Amino acid sequence: MALDALDRRLLEQLQHDASQTNQALAHAVGLSPSACLKRVKRLKEAGVIVQQVVLLDPQKLAPSLHMVVEIIMARDHRALYQRFVERVMQEDEVKQCYQVTGEVDFVLIVEVVSMEAYDDFCDRVLYTDDNLQKFRTLISRQRNKFVTHRALS
């Protein structure tokens, strides 16, 4: 789907605050409310807008640990990689999964409540994969930057 300048402005506004009313959104991008509603609906139907969510402040919630886990697979095989992806997609602790190039095959972002919970995750998910050669865990000490918006210009 080709995005025009109005679509991009709409998406930028929604990325910063998806809770704003249609009227406020229309005013911000210079459209009538009905035209704005139609465009947003079209963007949703086309799959450009996948989901609207609420971001929570982790500092105000129960303590948690964030791990960056680098995965090296034993064999480079599409079916084995797909099996691994399907497995980690089922795990609540896995917040992000990237298949990458370079020295490692996958990078996972894992969130757990404790080291014991991480050990359990490793036992259930990582150690049971017969194609996983080794993994390395980096524990996040502090999140310095986290953005969810994407530049569309």
Residue 55: the pLDDT is 86
Helix (H, G, I), strand (E, B) or coil at 70: strand
Asked whether residue 149 is assigned to any structural domain, the reply reads no
Q: Do the domain assignments include residue 144?
A: no
Tokens at 65, concatenated: 């640990």
Q: Above 80 in pLDDT, residue 153?
A: no
Q: Which domain holds residue 27?
A: 5-45
pLDDT category, 104, cuts 50, 70, 90?
very high
pLDDT, tens only, 32-42: 999 999 999 99
Within-domain flag for 98 = yes
Q: Quick check: is 110 in a domain?
A: yes
Shared-domain flag, residues 37 and 70? no
Residue 85 has pLDDT above 80, yes or no: yes
Mean pLDDT score, 31-53: 94
CA distance 89 to 121: 13
Confidence of residue 117 (pLDDT cuts 50, 70, 90): very high
91-100 pLDDT, tens digit per residue, is 999 999 999 9
pTM flag (> 0.85): no
User: Does 109 lie in the same domain as 41?
Assistant: no
* 151 falls within a domain: no
CATH number at residue 38: 1.10.10.10
Helices marked H in the chain: 5-16, 22-29, 33-45, 78-89, 115-121
The domain tally of the chain equals: 2
Structure tokens at 92: 């609540």
27-47 core/surface letters (b: 16 or more CB in 10 A; e: else):
ebbebeeeebeebbeebeeee
Residue 14: pLDDT band with limits 50, 70, 90: very high
In a domain, 34, yes or no: yes
